[in-house]
Chain A
Amino acid sequence: DTGVSQDPRHKITKRGQNVTFRCDPISEHNRLYWYRQTLGQGPEFLTYFQNEAQLEKSRLLSDRFSAERPKGSFSTLEIQRTEQGDSAMYLCASSLWETGTYEQYFGPGTRLTVT
């Protein structure tokens, strides 16, 4: 296990198309997070899972966005009817939630370009 992986690394799509990204966390990690990062900004929280349960969603996550983690392992983030404003780097992170453990391990990200 070499860490958090994300697929694809780059995605170019036309406005109005649907896209889906995948994140594979570190195998024993029970928490998984999605962040979005636009140019010149820090990452912004989108949503997170503990095992298969989605526990919180940011107001940034419009109805066009949906995330799943069906078996408590990998997660998918789908964007429907993409818009140019969705162009960003989508980061996934995972952590082992135990008392006093806070470190999140980040994946390399998926860069989305909507034309």
Chain B
Amino acid sequence: AQRVTQPEKLLSVFKGAPVELKCNYSYSGSPELFWYVQYSRQRLQLLLRHISRESIKGFTADLNKGETSFHLKKPFAQEEDSAMYYCALLRAGNMLTFGGGTRLMVKP
């Protein structure tokens, strides 16, 4: 069965510090993975997807099939990065399986 695990409910860092939000998955097929973000009082929105291998707002994520991980990283956190971050796995039918989410707090 497919599963997405985000081990940290809360991650608190200071502005300018590096950030790594962890995501591990289990899936028998070839995974398609995403990071979604929800800023305060806003709707859930796509941040990035692994197939595009792009950097959005300074965030990157690399799919590691050996470790079944898709960690989200940013070298220097900004206060505006404070939000809920969800890792999600796409399965057949274009349905998403989400992790439990990690709240990122960037302190000034």
Chain A: residues with CB nearer than 8 A to chain B? 3-4, 31, 33, 35, 40-45, 48, 55-56, 91, 95, 97, 102-109
| Chain A residues, Cβ within 8 Å of B101 | 40-42
Decide: A31 and B45 in contact? CB cutoff 8 A. Answer: no
Q: A40-B101, A106-B45, A108-B43 are in contact. List 17 more A-B contacts (CB 8 A).
A: A33-B95, A35-B98, A41-B101, A42-B98, A42-B101, A43-B86, A43-B96, A44-B98, A45-B95, A45-B97, A55-B93, A56-B95, A95-B94, A103-B46, A103-B49, A104-B96, A107-B43
In the complex, chain B residues 63-108 whose Cβ is within 8 Å of any chain A Cβ: 86, 88, 90, 93-101
Beta-carbon nearest neighbor of B46 in chain A: A103
| Chain B residues, Cβ within 8 Å of A56 | 93, 95
Total of A-B residue pairs, C-beta within 8 Å: 54
Q: Does B32 contact A (CB under 8 A)?
A: yes
Decide: A42 and B100 in contact? CB cutoff 8 A. Answer: yes
Q: Whole-angstrom distance between the alpha carbons of A55 and B95 in the complex? A: 11
Q: Does B44 contact A (CB under 8 A)?
A: yes
Q: Identify the 8 closest CB pairs spanning chains A and B, nearest first.
A: A42-B98, A106-B44, A45-B95, A108-B43, A43-B98, A106-B43, A42-B101, A42-B86
Q: Whole-angstrom distance between the alpha carbons of A56 and B94 in the complex? A: 11
In the complex, chain B residues 2-17 whose Cβ is within 8 Å of any chain A Cβ: 4, 6, 9
| Chain B residues, Cβ within 8 Å of A40 | 9, 100-101
Decide: A43 and B49 in contact? CB cutoff 8 A. Answer: no
Write the nearest CB–CB distance from A60 to chain B, whole angstroms.
Answer: 12
Decide: B95 and A48 in contact? CB cutoff 8 A. Answer: yes
Q: Whole-angstrom distance between the alpha carbons of A35 and B95 in the complex? A: 10
Q: Whole-angstrom distance between the alpha carbons of A8 and B27 in the complex? A: 36
Q: Whole-angstrom distance between the alpha carbons of A104 and B47 in the complex? A: 11
